[in-house]
């Protein structure tokens, strides 16, 4: 199973419809992991003793978060004071180590370049899902408004197309004596040429000419 498939399977298994720090922490709890918040400057007595007992003081000083698993503990350490987006990235990354099967190789998960790369890819899939499905989830919860917006977009698109044709109809167009396309006055194809004539408006649509792709790309 590739990384993207693992990410999708994770979202389905833990019923995550919105990728948030709260939802990722809930999924970690369901997997038997506790989230421990630590600080680079000063920790509570319990957290300080835990870090010292597990030999993780150095890791805590140089990291925003990491996962730890042995026979007795399943922990995800998360630095306090991170923004919501930073917290999301850390939790998604550590969830990647867990879902990609990196447990059992070392107490601190992610001890090789390959494992870090795989966890990063997993986290990116979760973050892409968060961005890509946010609008879909909003639309699902606001079907009436979503339909109205779609109708308005379609109507505005049609209006813009109609306006383009009306603008063209009421504007001067030009053709060369042997040309098969009509142009605007400043088109590079007819600028400074002598064998150019103004095209009557009635012939813009009905004269058998095609619009120039350079000066009239919208047509």
- Whether residues 42 and 86 share a domain: the answer is yes
CB 76 within 8 A of CB 94: yes
Mean pLDDT of 48-67: 95
Q: Where are the alpha helices (DSSP H) in 16-142?
A: 21-30, 45-53, 57-61, 84-99, 113-141
The CA–CA distances, whole Å, from 197 to 52, 75, 139, 140, 214 equal 88, 80, 52, 55, 18
The residue range of the domain holding 121 is: 3-141
If one counts the domains in the chain, the total is 2
Mean pLDDT of 66-90: 95
Q: What is the CATH number of the domain that holds 117?
A: 1.10.10
Q: Does 18 reside within a domain?
A: yes
- Whether residues 169 and 136 share a domain: the answer is no
Of 86, 111, 141, which one is at a domain's C-terminal end?
A: 141
- Whether residues 120 and 51 share a domain: the answer is yes
Q: Does 219 reside within a domain?
A: no
Of 79, 108, 141, which one is at a domain's C-terminal end?
A: 141
Q: Does 149 reside within a domain?
A: no
pLDDT at 179: 81
Q: Does 217 reside within a domain?
A: no
What is the pTM (predicted TM-score) of this model? 0.60
pLDDT at 170: 45
- Whether residues 134 and 179 share a domain: the answer is no
pLDDT at 184: 81
Secondary structure tally for the chain: helices H, strands E: 8, 7
- For residues 199 and 207, the model is more confident at 199
């Amino acid at each position: 199973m590739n990384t993207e498939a693992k990410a999708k399977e994770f979202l389905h298994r833990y019923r995550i419809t919105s990728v948030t720090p709260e939802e990722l922490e809930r999924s970690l709890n369901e997997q038997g992991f506790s989230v421990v918040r630590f600080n680079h400057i000063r920790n509570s007595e319990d957290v300080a003793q835990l870090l010292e007992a597990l030999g993780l003081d150095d890791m805590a000083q140089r990291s925003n978060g990491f996962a730890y698993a042995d026979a007795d503990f399943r922990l995800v350490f998360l630095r306090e004071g991170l923004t919501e987006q930073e917290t999301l990235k850390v939790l998604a990354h550590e969830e990647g180590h867990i879902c990609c099967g990196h447990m059992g190789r070392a107490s601190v998960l992610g001890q090789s370049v390959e494992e870090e790369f795989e966890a990063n890819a997993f986290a990116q899939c979760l973050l892409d899902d968060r961005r890509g499905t946010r609008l879909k989830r909003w639309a699902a919860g606001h079907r009436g408004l979503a339909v109205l917006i779609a109708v308005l977009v379609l109507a505005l698109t049609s209006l813009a197309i109609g306006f383009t044709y009306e603008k063209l109809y009421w504007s001067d167009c030009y053709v060369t004596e042997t040309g098969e396309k009509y142009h605007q006055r400043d088109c590079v194809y007819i600028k400074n040429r002598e064998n150019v004539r103004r095209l009557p408006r009635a012939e813009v649509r009905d004269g058998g000419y095609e619009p120039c792709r350079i000066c009239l790309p919208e047509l």
